[in-house]
């Protein structure tokens, strides 16, 4: 092995450790749920995106099992070469109907959906206007495109600042196309984009809108159809990204929009063109998960009941949840070292809640990110709350006299 490379890796890994930014994944030893076994111990899991508990729902598991018997475990090829099976086509038709759009194209992940779609619809004659707190996959997708996009030159607007967005749009008139891109629900803060105002400004200045609904899928809108549904903006949002790995509990992502958009991405979306198709059992499991989302309101109701109780309980103790409006509930710590220490102490109390630090969030804005879900019982959350109270007092995150 090259000594120079290994020396560089050693030095930079140590730098991460010194800055309290070094990550070591814990090993999940049970199916995803409200209580799990990780690294040999049982903990309440507050770091899962399994919003509705569908990752191990019996109907979803059975659909995957039956699909293996019918289709095998792999698609065998890139989709356009011969890897698109009937079950993939059925999944896209079901999602399109669910989202109330003309067409949907499924990718292997939400990340690849962003990195496939954004560069495909932009040229060097265009500009991207982006919320400053957009997800890393949006940022990487934009960087892969030839369009104009630099924070230093003013194409990134302050978080949810509509006056700033309009100022940028006024300066962007010389570009051929203007894309406004935003998360629907911001993944580290849990707040919701002001989509009606964004759409109104886009229509005023001849821009088009792309919304990443990864954390709104299954959470907001009719049966969990996302922010376009939540705000009743059907037909006014040009591109919607959704995930299949969070509320739907399996894996994958998709782009929803016009039939022309789908045709273009089939021909120019690089992750679609050069990645083997999702296993057919994944598509079958997702169809079953969609059936549950569309016909059984109980998981979504339970999700929101748990989220409401959790937020109110944390607030009553004095924790700062940073204005979260959705089940994503950050607990503000500030210092990276304090957030990492809080994660460790919560783990010792039997709660897995991840610390989020730079570069995922700005320096000095570290937090514990909690995710109450439909998979949690009230007893799970009460147990977790006691741990947060004990640890929060010890670290000075909340007053030592804090009581529920």
Active site amino acids: 187, 215, 246
Phi-psi region of 334 (alpha: psi -120 to 50; beta: other; left: phi over 0): left
Q: For residue 6, with 0-12 CB atoms within 10 Å meaning exposed, 13-18 middle and 19 or more buried, which class applies?
A: exposed
The pair of structure tokens assigned to 349 is 């109390």
Contacts of 243 (CB under 8 A, 6+ apart): 109, 110, 213, 214, 215, 217, 252, 253
SS3 content of the chain, % helix, strand, coil (to 5): 45, 15, 40
3 state DSSP class of 67: helix
What value does the CA radius of gyration of the chain take, rounded to a whole number of Å? 22
Residue matched to tokens 């989509």: 195
Q: How far apart are CA 281 and CA 62, in angstroms?
A: 10
């Amino acid at each position: 092995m090259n000594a120079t490379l290994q020396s560089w890796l050693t030095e930079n890994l140590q730098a991460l450790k010194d800055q309290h930014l070094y990550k070591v994944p814990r090993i999940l030893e049970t199916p995803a749920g409200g209580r799990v076994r990780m690294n040999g111990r049982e903990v309440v899991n507050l770091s899962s995106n399994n919003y509705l508990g569908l990752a191990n729902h019996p109907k979803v598991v059975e659909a995957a099992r039956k699909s293996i018997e019918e289709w095998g475990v792999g698609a065998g090829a890139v989709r356009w070469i011969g890897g698109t099976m009937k079950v993939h086509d059925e999944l896209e038709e079901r999602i399109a109907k669910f989202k109330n759009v003309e067409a949907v194209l499924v990718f292997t992940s939400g990340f690849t959906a962003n990195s496939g779609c954004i560069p495909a619809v932009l040229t060097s004659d265009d500009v991207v206007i982006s919320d400053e707190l957009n997800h890393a996959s949006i940022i990487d997708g934009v960087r892969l495109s030839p369009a104009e996009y630099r924070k230093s030159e003013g194409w990134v607007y302050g978080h949810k600042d509509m006056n700033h967005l309009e100022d940028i749009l006024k300066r962007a008139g010389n570009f051929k196309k203007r894309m406004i891109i935003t998360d629907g629900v911001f993944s580290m803060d849990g707040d919701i984009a002001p989509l009606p105002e964004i759409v109104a400004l886009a229509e005023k200045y001849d821009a088009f809108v792309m919304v990443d609904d990864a954390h709104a899928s299954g959470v907001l809108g009719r049966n969990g159809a996302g922010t376009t549904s939540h705000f009743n903006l059907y037909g006014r949002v040009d591109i919607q990204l959704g995930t299949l790995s969070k509320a739907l509990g399996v894996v994958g992502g998709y782009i929803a929009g016009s039939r022309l958009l789908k045709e273009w991405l089939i021909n120019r979306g690089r992750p679609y063109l050069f990645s083997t198709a999702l296993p057919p059992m994944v598509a079958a499991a997702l169809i079953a998960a969609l059936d549950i989302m569309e016909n059984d309101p109980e998981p979504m109701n339970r999700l929101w009941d748990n989220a409401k109780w959790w937020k109110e309980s944390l607030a009553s103790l004095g924790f700062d949840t940073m204005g979260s409006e959705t089940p994503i509930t950050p607990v503000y710590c500030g210092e990276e070292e304090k957030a990492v220490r809080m994660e460790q102490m919560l783990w010792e109390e039997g709660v897995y809640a991840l610390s989020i630090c730079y570069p995922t969030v700005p320096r000095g804005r570290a937090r514990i990110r909690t995710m109450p879900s439909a998979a949690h019982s009230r007893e799970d959350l009460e147990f977790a709350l006691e741990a947060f109270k004990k640890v929060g007092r010890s670290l000075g995150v909340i007053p030592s006299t804090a009581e529920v």
